[in-house]
Structure 1
Amino acid sequence: MKPDPRLPPERDGSGTTTRWSASARAGLAVLAMTVRAAFLLGTASLLALLIVRVGADWLDGLDPFSAAGRSPLRPRQFAARSLALDVIRQGILAGLVLVAARRMAGADWRRALALTAPAGSGLPARRLAGLLVAWPLLHIAWVTGTGEAFGAPVARNATLSPTLQIGGIVLWFGNVVVLAPVAEELLMRGLVFARGLRDAGPVLTVATTAVLFCAAHLSGFGLARPVSLLPLALMLGWLRWRTGRLWPCMMLHAWSNLCVVAWMLSPGG
C-alpha cells in the first residue's frame, strides 16, 4: 500500500536513538577516564607516603607507628622527605600505568599507550621543531601572567631550598625534567587518553585529560597552578591526537618544565 502523499512522513527515531547512545558512551568514557586517573594517582600517592614515612623514620631510628620520642622535623629532613615523596610517587605512578596497560591490552600494551605509531599518523618534523621553539615563550608568558592575576607571582632570581645538598638538587632536576613528564604523560595522554578516544572522540578526550591534568596539580596556591597549566595540557592533548604518539608529548612536557625552571633560576634584569 502506497503512503498518502498528503500526510507528513513518519519520523525515523533511529537517528535520535543513535545520538543518545553516542552521548551515553561519551559520558561513560569521561567517567571511566576520571575514575582511572583518580585511582592511579591516589594509589601512587598513598604508597609513596607510606614508603617515605616508614623508610625515613627507620633511617632516623624512630618507630613509624609510634609518636614516642618524635620531635618536629628539621628543615633538612622536611626538604628531603618532600623530595623523596615526589620522586617515589612519580616512579610508582609510571609502574602502575605500565602494569595496568599490560593487564588491559596484553601484548598490545605499547600500542594502547601510543608508544608505537599507528598507520598514517605523524606531524612534520619542521612543525614539531617550530612548536618546540615557540612554545616556551608562550608558556612562560602565560604562567607569569596567571601568577600575577591570582596573587601568586612567578618571578626570576628564584633559589632552591638551601637545605638540599648536591645529590638532592640533581634528583630534583631529574624529577622535574624527566621522571614527572614521563609518568604524567604515560597516565594522562597514554592510558587515560586511549580510553576516551574510543568512545568520547578527540575533542572531548583532549578537554577531559586537560582538566584532569590541571586538577592533579592543585596545591596550596589554589587555582593559580592549575590555570597556569591549562594551555600546556590542551597542547599536549592536541599533540597526542595529531601525532598518534606519546613521545612528542613527553618531549614538550619536559621541555616546558626545563624552560620554566631555567627562567625562574636565571638572574632578573
Structure 2
Amino acid sequence: MIRRDSAIAAGQVLLAVACGYSGVAVVSLLSSRLLGREPSFDGRETAFFLSLGLATLLLASLSSEPFRRALALSWPAERRVAVRFALALLGIFAIEAAVLFSGLLGSLDDFRAMSGSERSLLGLANAVVLAPVAEEGLFRGLLFTRLRRHYAALTTLVVVTLAFGLLHAENGLLHVVSVLPAGAFLGLAREFSGGIGLPILLHACMNLAVVIVGLAL
C-alpha cells in the first residue's frame, strides 16, 4: 500500500511538471504563429508556473481526500511558529549574504545572471507570486501531504527537497545548490506549521530578497 501511494505521488509530480512544460510549448507555438516571435524568458516562466499550478489544482480535486486537506491549505494555528521561522529566515539571509560576497559559490556576475530575468514586472510576478504558489502547492502541498501519511518527517523532507531541487536542475549547479537548503527550510516550515500557507509566504520572501539583491548589484 505504501509503495502504491508513493508511486502515485511520484506520478502526480511528474504529470504536473510535464503539464508545466507542455504549457510552455503551447505558448511558444502560439506566439510564433500569431506574433512571429518566441515569447520572452519571463513569458515562458509564466506559462510554466500557471500550467504547473493548474495541474496541481486538478490533481488535488481528483484526490480521495478533501481538496483543502490534499493541498494542506492552512495557516499555522500558533503565531509563534510563524515568528520563529521569520526570525530564522532573517538569519539565513545574513548567512547567504556572507557566502555570496565571499565568492564561495561563484562570482557576483553568476548571481546577476541568475537573477537577471526577474528585473521585469512579469519576472517579479513570477518570482514573488506564481513560483511560490505553484511550487509550494505541488511539493509541500500535494507531494508532502501524501508521503507524510506513510513516512517519517525526515524521510518525507529529504524526498520532497530532492524533488524540489531537481525541478531547478536545468538552471545550473549554482541554482540547485542554493535551492536545496531553501527547500529543506520550506519543508520544515510545512511540517511544523501543518500547511502550505507559511511556506508560500517564506518562499515569496526568499525570492523577493533575490530580486532586491540582484537589482542592487
Q: TM-score, normalised by structure 1?
A: 0.69
- CA drift of 1:220 comes to 4.5
In structure 1, stretches of 5+ residues that fail to align are 1-23, 62-76
- CA drift of 1:263 comes to 1.6
CA separation of 1:141 and 1:261: change in aligned 2, threshold 3 A? farther
Structure 2 match to 1:190: 141
Deviations 1:136-159 (A, max 9, x none): 441463477379445454557998
CA separation of 1:261 and 1:141: change in aligned 2, threshold 3 A? farther
Contact kept, 8 Å, 1:144 with 1:155, in 2: the verdict is no
**Percent sequence identity over aligned pairs:** 26
Contact kept, 8 Å, 1:140 with 1:260, in 2: the verdict is no
The whole-number CA distance in structure 2 between the counterparts of 1:111 and 1:46 is: 27
Q: 2:92 aligns with which of 113, 121, 138?
A: 138
The whole-number CA distance in structure 1 between the counterparts of 2:187 and 2:116 is: 31
Matches within 5 A, 1:5-154: 25=2, 29-49=5-25, 51-61=26-36, 80-105=39-64, 108-116=66-74, 122=76, 124-139=78-93, 141-142=95-96, 145=99, 148-151=103-106, 153=108
CA separation of 1:152 and 1:46: change in aligned 2, threshold 3 A? farther
- CA drift of 1:235 comes to 1.2
Amino acid at match of 1:204: T
The answer to whether the aligner puts 1:234 opposite 2:184 as a matched pair is yes
CA separation of 1:103 and 1:144: change in aligned 2, threshold 3 A? farther
CA separation of 1:159 and 1:252: change in aligned 2, threshold 3 A? closer
Q: 1:263 aligns with which of 196, 213, 216?
A: 213
Contact kept, 8 Å, 2:12 with 2:59, in 1: the verdict is no
Q: Secondary structure at the match of 2:170?
A: coil
Contact kept, 8 Å, 2:115 with 2:211, in 1: the verdict is no
Matches within 5 A, 1:207-218: 207-218=158-169
Q: 1:254 aligns with which of 185, 201, 204?
A: 204
Aligned length: 215
Contact kept, 8 Å, 1:236 with 1:252, in 2: the verdict is yes
Q: TM-score, normalised by structure 2?
A: 0.84
Deviations 1:97-136 (A, max 9, x none): 1111111136x1111111146xxxx463234224224414
**RMSD of the TM alignment (CA)?**
3.0
Deviations 1:3-40 (A, max 9, x none): xxxxxxxxxxxxxxxxxxxxx83x65554433321221
Matches within 5 A, 1:157-176: 160=116, 169-176=120-127
In structure 2, stretches of 5+ residues that fail to align are none
The whole-number CA distance in structure 1 between the counterparts of 2:131 and 2:144 is: 17
CA separation of 1:143 and 1:212: change in aligned 2, threshold 3 A? farther
Larger Cα Rg: Structure 1 or Structure 2?
1
